[in-house]
Amino acid sequence: MKSILRVFGVFISYIFPFKLLRSLKSCRTYLYSGYIRNSFQKIGQNSYIEYPMTLIGGNCMNIGSNFYVNERLRIEAHTEHNFNHYSPKILIGNNVAINSDCHLACINQISIGNDVLIASKVFITDHFHGRADLNSLELPPNSRPLVSPGPVSIGNSVWIGENVAIMPNVNIGNNCIVGANSVVTKSFPENSVIAGVPAKLIRELKK
């Protein structure tokens, strides 16, 4: 059966060459980008958003121009959870590129500056499911109220490596580099190279 499928794949490749499939995917992306742009409060020109994307609360999101997103982005601004109400805001600047399988979750505020590059499998959140206390433990995690210790701010020209988690109440300054597999639990000034679990300052970038 496997051999038959491989032969069938070769046959299909003559009918639909790889370049043609890539062109069809690009056409679908441009159609999807135009279709979904009205779901945002504001989005600039030249957005390129690959299908599929999970979008919650797009009317709470203000996005700049040249927004480039690979497939399977989850971007969520929750205004209600377990009958609790929130006023979230997601602000994204110009020339921001987000690779595949990333997740942004907001009940307070997440802001990302201009010229930011985010690798795959990055998680950015401004909240937790409940507090780290005994009262919260009496409820299942999904039944606990969402709690935000503070907003998340990512400056201009920041590069975030693959498989990074950025936790609430964190400010990452301009021109920072966040190493792959890091968990960022505190703020760092501009021109910092950070990495680790939890992330620590590796060195400062100086002219």
Q: Is 129 known to be catalytic?
A: yes
Q: What is the DSSP letter of 21?
A: H
Tokens of 18: 């790889």
Q: How far apart are CA 39 and CA 44, in angstroms?
A: 13
User: Residues 78, 81, 103, 129: which is the catalytic one?
Assistant: 129
Angle at 47 between CA 122 and CA 35, to 5 degrees: 105
Preceding omega of 198 cis (within 30 degrees of 0): yes
Q: Measuring CA to CA, how many Å separate 44 from each of 67, 115, 159, 161, 198?
A: 8, 14, 21, 25, 35
Catalytically active residues, by annotation: 129
